Amino acid sequence: MGHRERLSVVQAYRFALDLSPAQQRALAAHAGAARMAYNWGLERVKAVLDQRAAERSYGVCEEELTPAIGWSLPALRRSWNAAKDEVAPWWRDYSKEAYNTGLDALARALTNWAASRSGKRCGRRVGFPRFKSRRRSTPSVRFTTGAIRVEPDRQHVVLPRLGRLKLHESARKLARRLEAGTARILSATVRRDGHRWYVSFTCEVERAQRTPARPCATVGVDLGVRHLAVLSTGEPVPNPRQLEAALRKLRRISRGLSRKVAPDRRTRRDASKRWERVRGQLSRVHLRVANLRCDGLHKLTTRLAATYGTIVIEDLNVAGMLRNRRLARRIADAGFAEIRRHLAYKTQWYGSRLMVADRWYPSSKTCSGCGAVRTKLALSERTFTCTPCGLVLDRDVNAARNLAALAATVAGSGPETLNGRGADRKTPLAGLVAVKRLPGTATAGKTGTVPPQGRTSDHALTPAS
């Protein structure tokens, strides 16, 4: 056997479960215990925070305020252990991991909120945690200790307190790794998605370090709306074949559902039998759409990471785009954020590298032939036409080629351009600004082009971490 470098990664394996009604009840009860501990802790923290705020408003000085309480996981656990006999005398009925799941989620939520408020956390503001409702929250419970294993028949798993649970599918991929000693289970999370329970094992996996098939090749990927993606090689990657059909079915069933008698909590009206049945259908089609999309994305990203040495994608402002209602559904479908996340870890597995062009890089408006930048390009223009050099090319292929070319011009990699909240700043277009536009090269109101100045490498092209 040749000597190969090994790479240690954390990876999840997820399997659907086939449970008996008693097992489903046991799982739901564990998830309920987790939710109960979460709400209990939140109520306590909130009461102290509110009390302190009220005291401050009366002018009580800082030293005399009600003492603050810790919200780290150990602190929450200590206070839970002190109070559980009183607030949950039945606590012995469920695994202690259930309460830990809830308290851990609460500790994270509070830490994120505090970090966001003080500006230490990047991205969108994180609000104060809310109470978990039985209706709205996803039931889940995580086990980190105790008997967690895959049975030798690969059709069953064993979890603490819950015992042997039947899998809907074979766990052979994980079992092989466990038997070979290249995987170690760190935790197991059971959660209900729609009508089905799933178990997901978080594992530390030793993977053989691989090299992509074409280590010197670079590919630009333009994530699209009409296609899943268009590559700089000119290849369009279509959306999964059955996705459109599933979406049509989804629309039809939703229309039908709106004509049935829905439950109404204000008037205490129960849903009709037909409403319940159609809603079951709807959730199954939703799941199918999600699965098809997920499958398409995985196939694309695995192929890219295993083939090309360098992959260049654009940093798209997905949150901003989702506000556009007309395109919203389709863009959400394409799962841009998912593609980037997949590529980030798969490039690690396959030894390729992912580069992300900042979101102001005009990949669509730049001519991939001569580098001229058009000032305007309507979204409806599907073909890119360059006046200076006469290039006519599919809009998406042109954009993908620009992304690929960007990797070639940027020798090193610039530092990540982030501001305090984590939103990236626009990199100054030094090259473009320096070029003085001659009078008469572009008249007002007309689509013009900035004179070519060679591709600038001022745009932040950052290796994704």
Q: Is 45 in the site for Zn ion (CB under 5 A)?
A: no
- Near Zn ion by CB under 5 A, which window of 184-192, 339-347, 361-369, 427-435? 361-369
Q: Does 367 bind Zn ion (CB under 5 A)?
A: yes
CA distance linking residue 449 with residue 287, whole number of Å: 46
Contact present, 259 and 267 (Cβ < 8 Å): no
Positions marked catalytic:
222, 314, 396
- Cα–Cα–Cα angle for 453, 458, 462, rounded to 5 degrees: 140
Nearer to Zn ion, 318 or 391 (CB): 391
Contacts with Zn ion by CB under 5 A: the residue count is: 7
Helix (H) or strand (E) holding 313: strand 308-314
Least distance in angstroms from the C-beta of 396 to Zn ion: 17
Side chain identity at residue 424, one-letter code: D
Question: What residues contact 28, with CB distance under 8 A and at least 6 apart?
Answer: 139, 192
CB of 450 to Zn ion, least distance (A): 12
Binding mask 379-418 for Zn ion (x = CB under 5 A): -------x--x-x---------------------------
Per CB under 5 A, the list member of 236, 369, 431, 448 interacting with Zn ion is 369
Q: Compare residues 256 and 388 and give the one whose CB is closer to Zn ion.
A: 388
Our finding on whether 373 is near Zn ion (CB under 5 A) is no
Residue 360 beta carbon to Zn ion: minimum distance, rounded to whole angstroms: 20
Residue closer to Zn ion, measured from CB, 229 or 399:
399
Closer CB to Zn ion, 237 or 442, in the complex? 442
Pick between residue 135 and residue 446 the one whose CB is nearest to Zn ion: 446
Q: Which helix (H) or strand (E) holds 25?
A: helix 21-57
Task: Give me the least distance between CB of 373 and Zn ion, in Å please.
Answer: 10
The type of residue at 145 is: T
Long-range pairs of 43-50 with CB within 8 A, sequence gap ≥ 24: 43/131, 44/69, 44/79, 45/69, 45/71, 45/106, 45/110, 46/128
Part of the chain binding Zn ion (CB under 5 A), chosen from 119-127, 152-160, 363-371, 435-443:
363-371
DSSP string, 397-431: HHHHHHHHHHHHH--S-PPP-B-TTSPBPPPP-HH
Q: How far is the CB of 458 from Zn ion (least distance, A)?
A: 20
Cβ neighbours for 441, distance < 8 A, ≥ 6 positions apart: 448, 449, 451
**Which of residues 158 and 391 has its CB atom nearest to Zn ion in the complex?**
391
**Which of 49, 321, 370, 429 is in the footprint of Zn ion by CB under 5 A?**
370
The CB-of-462 to Zn ion minimum distance in angstroms stands at 27
Cα–Cα dist 32/95, whole Å: 12
Give the three-state DSSP class for 366.
strand
Q: Enumerate binding residues for Zn ion (CB under 5 A).
A: 367, 369-370, 372, 386, 389, 391
